[in-house]
Chain A
Amino acid sequence: MSQFTKEQVLAVAALANLELEPEEVELFARQLGDVLTHAEELKQVDTTGVSPTAYGVAPHTVDRSDVVVPSLPIADVVANAPERELLPRGGFFKVPRVIG
């Protein structure tokens, strides 16, 4: 049986950069536990020597010539940012002060 404790929920939430409401912590502990318990069925499958599959259809390596192609205008790129600054030398996403 997979048990999911509230402490684990909070630890995973921190890894995922998610704040949770107190009632979500309890709810998720139960619901994630249910899903993981169900997934325990995979332990019955013998996978000795079986290689993992990352893509159902194997991707191929794609090369392209190293030539400059136009990108989107900076003003368009930053237009959706909650806070932004457009200066003559470029556009910037603004975030809270990180250093000092």
Chain B
Amino acid sequence: MTVASVAEIRDGVRSGARSAVDVCRTAIERIESVDATLNAFNTVVAERAMARAAEIDADRHRFASAPLAGVPVALKDNICTRGIRTTASSRILETFVPPYDSTVVARLQAAGAVIIGKTNCDEFAMGSSNENSAFGPVRNPWALDRIPGGSAVAVAAGMTPLSFGSETGGSIRQPASMCGITGLKPTYGRVSRYGLLAFGSSLDQIGPFGHTARDCAVALGVIAGVDSADSTSATHAVDDYEGALSGEIRGLRVGVPSRLLASGVDAEISRALSASLDVLRARGATIVDIELPHAKYAISVYYLVATAEASSNLARYDGVRYGLRIAQDDLGAMYARSREKGFGAEVKRRIMLGTYVLSAGYYDAYYLKAQQVRTLILRDYHDAFEAVDVVAMPTSPIPPFTIGEKTADPLQMYLADVFTVSANLAGLPAISVPCGFTTTRLPIGLQLTGRAFDERTLLRVADAYERDTEWWKQQPPTAR
């Protein structure tokens, strides 16, 4: 099986060379054949998708300039879809059917995309492994006993050519890296968060998974832009991302924080990073050593800030307006019992931690301190971008670990987020592209971080890298 690009599918459907119904049927059949093993989908809306695809085929001229005409897409199950169950992979929302579409979904529909279903994820997007789902762990298509890191599996296993995830601390880049595909976290505010179930409101951002930077560029062009329903959405003009992919990176300066990477990075991952830098250098880029002196504190800052925000955001799940209710005679008891039965362990842990760091007597020592160090992390990047155009790092310091390996010790799982969380704290765009494999055939990802709202440069470098490499063409055993 060869992978069709998003642009190929779109152009084919527009011209009539491909039928949207055929493309949609292929996606659904693929899900039927591999997903019993992988568990990547919580909900598949086959009938609805086929009807939508037929509508596109029947009325082709209406979609003549639709940027995603007939492209099957999967959506992480924390992105609200009107009339399609949206669970956040939590018992507490197991039966929740949103009465409205998120802005991203509305834009995808208008762009001619065909929604295939909702992907499994860590409960309320909390986790770096995709083991913390009420509906069971998702498996890595490259090694079924390993974690996929999140909602990248639909694309990695060839079920849909494009999918959308969300990031608070790396949940697009990490799974993209661990599953051998490309994943983009846009600048904070680049994409509306309206209809994304909130986790960390100052960090959350929706972004695409695709096989290539080009697929992600097409997708970003559709979902980016200001939205009156999200006051944190940015008013910056939306760039022509696809048009930015010139392959030209001569004179581009790539910063590498070598001191930060000196310890704690798996040897095979370090070698893959070095080889990636050689590829960029051969295309005319200059590699520059930079310092990010406070990046090593990003994990601590992140887990204080993100849990504080989560404890506040998840207060709304109380069994009153939606979701699970455990009936009790007393209102307070009803809240507490419903939350106890509805939330899984990782969500409870984070609500507890966030509640604690915001509580009287601890606020200054933890939350305020974390926000101050967040300022320093931001300044480091600001200083670095005086000298370089993008920053390169591994996406993850370790290859995907075994399912269950870190369940008893969540801190060990949190530490694997060391290279991703700082971009969320600083609001910066970042992308993960496939850059190699371990000797045991586990994917490795190269992470590039850019200036705020400069997704064009980021995508241009990622695309240039993918032109000179074949890693992104590799397919896992389950997708062949």
* Chain A interface residues toward B at CB < 8 A: 8-9, 12-13, 15-21, 24, 27-28, 31-32, 34-36, 38-39, 41-43, 45, 47, 50-57, 59-60, 62, 64, 72, 76-83, 93, 95-96, 98
Contacts and interface: CB of A to CB of B under 8 A. Distances in A.
A32 B349 contact: yes
Nearest to B414: A35
Contacts of A41: 297, 300
Interface of B: 95-97, 99-100, 187-189, 202-203, 228, 231-232, 234-235, 294, 297, 299-301, 303-304, 311, 315, 318-325, 327-332, 334-337, 339-340, 343, 345, 348-349, 351-353, 355-356, 359, 366, 368-376, 378, 409-411, 414, 424-428, 452
A37 B378 CA distance: 24
Nearest to A43: B369
Given A28-B348, A57-B234, 18 more contacts: A8-B356, A20-B340, A32-B352, A35-B353, A47-B372, A50-B372, A52-B372, A56-B426, A56-B452, A57-B187, A57-B188, A57-B189, A57-B427, A77-B99, A80-B97, A81-B321, A96-B331, A96-B334
Given A31-B410, A55-B188, A79-B99, A12 B359 contact: yes
| Dominant secondary structure at the B interface | helix
Given A45-B297, A79-B97, A52 B371 contact: yes
20 contacts: A13-B352, A17-B318, A18-B343, A19-B339, A19-B340, A20-B340, A42-B301, A45-B372, A45-B376, A47-B375, A47-B376, A52-B374, A55-B232, A56-B424, A56-B452, A62-B231, A80-B96, A82-B319, A82-B324, A95-B334
Contacts of A96: 327-331, 334
Contacts of B189: 57, 59
Contacts of B323: 80, 82
Chain A interface mostly: loop
Contacts of A60: 235
Nearest to B317: A17
